[in-house]
Structure 1
């Protein structure tokens, strides 16, 4: 049975590779569940898929130096930007598909932590439009 350990996942936000600042990447896609049960359903619930949505959750290692993650993300706050992620920073292919789309940068945490903590935080961005999976 194949198994995978994420060691070098890839993430670009607004066309900028931010992999060096990320410690977690989680892309979720889901669809609304719409109940279409009728008296003819034989006592069983019937459902159809409704509107799809997604989220991109990212663990960030903060860095406020020039050209680092804070200077990349702060100007994007409140805007919809593109993303690309894949399980490996290797070339895109059938064994390493890429997932692309757009996200709303709805939050940013310039400072998070206590005395002696690593400057890191988690953010979650809703997708805007479709998430596309490609192998080329």
Structure 2
């Protein structure tokens, strides 16, 4: 079984590559569990998938300089924007699929830390609509 170490993951928001500011990326999806048990289930619980949802979790090293991360993210606060994430910044392919969709930028923390800390913040933004996987 191959093991993958993330070294150069790709994270783009609203068409802009944010990988240089990103120190963590995690895309997760889940589906609601709906109980469809009947008397014909013979005492066993039966389930079906309901609505799907997801989230994109990222940690950003904040940059407040002109035309840097904060100036790009601030106008996106409160809006739904497209995203793309890949395990590697290499070309999309069967061993490096891209996941795309839209997320709600529901919070933004441009300044975080105590004296001597790196100014960074972590977010988990909910997906809006479907997430797709492509290998080309």
* TM-score tier (shorter): over 0.9
5+ residue gaps, structure 2: none
Q: Quote the RMSD (CA, aligned, Å).
A: 0.5
Matched, 1:131 2:131: yes
CA distance in 2, matches of 1:134, 1:26: 17
Q: Deviations over 1:55-93 (max 9, x none)?
A: 000011011001111111110000000000000000000
Q: Which residue of 1 aligns with 2:16?
A: 16
TM-score by length of 1: 0.98
Q: Which residue of 2 aligns with 1:89?
A: 89
Question: Greater shift after overlay, 39-48 or 81-90?
Answer: 39-48
CA distance in 1, matches of 2:115, 2:40: 62
Structure 1 segments of 4+ aligned residues over 2 angstroms from their partners = none
CA shift for structure 1 position 43 = 1.0
CA shift for structure 1 position 36 = 0.5
Counterpart secondary structure, 1:90: coil
TM-score by length of 2: 0.98
CA shift for structure 1 position 39 = 1.4
CA distance in 1, matches of 2:125, 2:84: 13
